[in-house]
A = this chain, B = another copy of it.
Amino acid sequence: MLSPASDAPGDARFFARSGPFGLERLAECISASLPTSNRANGVAASFTGVAPLQAAGPDQVSFLDNRRYLKQLALTRAGVVIVSPAFADQVPATSTALVTPDPYLAWALVASLFHPRLSVSGSIHPSAVVEPGALIDPSAEIGAFAFVGRDAVVGAGCSIGSHASIGAGVIIGSDCRIGTHASVSHSILGDRVTLFPGARIGQEGFGFAVGKAGFVTVPQLGRVLIEDDVEIGANAAIDRGSAQDTVIGAGSRLDNLVQIGHNVRLGRCCIVVSQAGISGSTELEDYVTIAAQAGLIGHIRIGRKARVGAQCGVMSDVEPGADVIGSPAMPFREFFRNVAALRRLARRPAASGTAASTAGENGAG
């Protein structure tokens, strides 16, 4: 059905392209040494782009990061492969290996070299609405149907996507990218913050008291503070604080459809994967990872570098460095020991037929 022009990454319909680049330039980009002997005869003198192992040709660069793909490495036709020292000797003779301790990071750098991010034009689309008192840096780009409320501030080099809404008084630092349809209110953003399409930042938290005639909304009088270098995924929701602020610490990455309740505080470089949710007033120290679909109850504290597994249900504090999983949360080892124990128990063909357990059942009756 589909006959796309090209299967290669970096389709020119969508991505800018730079290059070609020679091997020296690539090695320099990732701080790798050039191979002492160029094993690969007939390798191109310059390279035009990047591609995955199975698709790359002699003029393309690929990488191996996951041993799951060693089979593809053996078969690759890539001109250059970025690998860690452990797999360097498995790069086929037709490829040049660029060896680095962190191939995934190196891949990020090389891919950015071939496909630089689109630059931001200092322009306001004629269809945009900018309310009186708003301050927009001349180098910022404001998209079609974007709305910037009164007294809002948009910093240098920002890109505000089509249909984005920047509420009254919101402050956005420099070099931020606000995706299409994102909404921001009652918030202060640092520099280099990225909001993906449809992210909802700063709306009222879920707070109400029980009155005689129904629920009574508790005013949500805090803000959302988003520190530098934070990214927030598509259709994620971050509520503003009630009496304190909701804070997302510098460098943190939140994935799509994540929910952050009011007064939550994330430390530096936290990771919250898609569809996870953090209830009100819970705090994450630095470098915490919350895997997909995990849920954290409110008013708890997750220690530095702790890792919360996928679908985990966390109902109490987690120690720094701990790995927890399960619902309710428990240490990884305990969880898998439980799983194994239950499987053994259930497999007994006549579990209630043994003396001990029969006694138990009788007692229960």
Interface residues of A (CB under 8 A from B): 1-2, 4, 7, 9-11, 13-15, 50-52, 55, 66, 68, 102, 104-105, 107-109, 111-112, 115, 117, 125, 127, 129, 143-145, 147, 151, 161-163, 165, 167-169, 171, 179-181, 183, 185-186, 188, 190-191, 196-198, 200, 203-204, 206, 208-211, 214-219, 221-223, 225, 227-229, 231, 233-235, 237, 239, 241-245, 250-251, 253, 255-257, 259, 261, 269, 273-275, 277, 279, 292-293, 295, 297, 299, 310-311, 313, 327-328, 330, 334, 337-352, 354-357, 359-361, 363-364
- Report how far A299 CA is from B66 CA in the complex, Å: 10
Residue pair B214, A256 in contact (C-beta under 8 Å): no
Q: How far is the CA of A163 from the CA of B128 in the complex (A)?
A: 12
In-complex Cβ contact of A203 among B179, B204, B219 (8 A): B179
* Min CB gap A229→B, angstroms: 6
Across the interface, do B346 and A337 meet the contact criterion of CB distance under 8 Å? yes
Query: Assuming the A-B contacts A13-B169, A183-B198, are A277 and B275 also in contact, with contact meaning beta carbons closer than 8 angstroms in the complex?
Result: yes
A52-B244, A169-B13 given as contacts; is B342 within 8 A of A341 (CB)?
A: yes
Of the A-B pairs whose beta carbons lie under 8 Å apart in the complex, a sample of 17, sorted by A's number, is A7-B245, A11-B221, A129-B145, A161-B165, A196-B200, A206-B273, A233-B237, A235-B235, A275-B277, A292-B295, A293-B313, A311-B313, A338-B343, A344-B351, A348-B357, A354-B357, A354-B360
Q: Which residues of B contact A168 (CB under 8 A)?
A: 13-14
Cα separation A171 to B13 with both chains bound (whole Å): 10
A221 partner residues in chain B, CB cutoff 8 A: 9-11, 15, 50, 111, 115
Query: How far, in Å, is A106 (CB) from chain B's closest CB?
Result: 8
Q: Residues of B contacting A219 with CB < 8 Å?
A: 108, 111-112, 115, 117
Q: In the complex, are the beta carbons of B111 and A2 less than 8 A apart? A: no
Are A186 and B104 closer than 8 Å at their CB atoms?
no
Contact A234/B52 with A221-B9, A355-B356 known, Cβ cut-off 8 Å = no
Known contacts A235-B200, A359-B354; A250/B1 CB under 8 A: yes
Find chain B residues with CB under 8 A from A242 CB: 9
Kindly list chain B residues whose C-beta atoms are within 8 Å of the C-beta of A364: 347-349
| Docked-complex contact A256 and B275, CB < 8 angstroms | no
- B337 and A350 within 8 A (CB): no
- Assembled-state Cα–Cα distance A200/B223 (Å): 24
Q: Least Cβ distance of A157 to chain B in Å? A: 16
Determine the chain B residues whose CB is within 8 A of the CB of A162 once the complex forms. Answer: 147, 165
Complex: A219 Cα to B29 Cα, angstroms: 15
Taking CB atoms, residues of chain B closer than 8 Å to A344 are: 351-352, 357, 361
- Rounded to whole angstroms, the CA-CA distance of A244 and B180 in the bound complex is 24
Given A109-B216, A237-B256, 17 additional A-B pairs, CB 8 A: A1-B191, A4-B225, A4-B245, A9-B242, A50-B221, A104-B209, A105-B209, A145-B163, A181-B183, A196-B200, A206-B273, A214-B251, A215-B253, A235-B257, A239-B256, A344-B351, A356-B357
B-side contacts of A190, CB under 8 Å: 1-2
Contact B350 A343 (CB under 8 A): no
- The contact of A257 among B51, B129, B208, B259, by CB within 8 Å, is B259
Whether the Cβ atoms of B274 and A275 lie closer than 8 Å is no
Which residues in B have their C-beta under 8 angstroms from that of A214?
229, 250-251, 269
* Distance of A215 Cα from B230 Cα, bound (Å): 10
Partner pick for A350 among B2, B250, B360, CB 8 A cutoff: B360
